[in-house]
A and B are shown apart, each in its own frame.
Chain A
Amino acid sequence: GDSVTQMEGPVTLSEEAFLTINCTYTATGYPSLFWYVQYPGEGLQLLLKATKADDKGSNKGFEATYRKETTSFHLEKGSVQVSDSAVYFCALNNNDMRFGAGTRLTVKP
């Protein structure tokens, strides 16, 4: 069945460092891809999405490009802030939403 694999955490970075969180997927057909962010004690917030190959989703300085040839949707940000500390989930929707296990990011001042 469809699945998402994302890089294990935790990831610890200094403020203003470059962030990459890897995400690869397995799916038949053409799923939509998403990144969600979860702050402590809260539900998931949609961060960005891409619905077809080569689409780039972006929001709040975060970006991810839908790469069908490598079945990947890596999350990047050029300069992280302390407020970006959270758990990030990669997900696909191919008529059923499937999530990765999440990657915890801690940004230190």
Chain B
Amino acid sequence: AQSVTQPDIHITVSEGASLELRCNYSYGATPYLFWYVQSPGQGLQLLLKYFSGDTLVQGIKGFEAEFKRSQSSFNLRKPSVHWSDAAEYFCAVGAESGGGADGLTFGKGTHLIIQP
């Protein structure tokens, strides 16, 4: 069964500092990996996704993530955070669709706090 681990429940970063959120996954084949962001009281918005190809993927809002197969990781990074980045971040792993009806398996989330 697939699973996702986000080791950090809370992370506090100063505005303007760099950010890295960790994500480790367990999956039997090549995974499809995602990062979603959830602002308070809102649904989830896709930041970026990895299916294949270049292991460094760029997303919206200046975020990027790197897929490392040897470490089973898909960490999210941002060079300089803004106060508006304060939110809950979810890593997710999924199966290839096209007959595959699996939903995504989500990590438990990392709550990002931005200090002025």
Q: Do A and B bind each other?
A: no
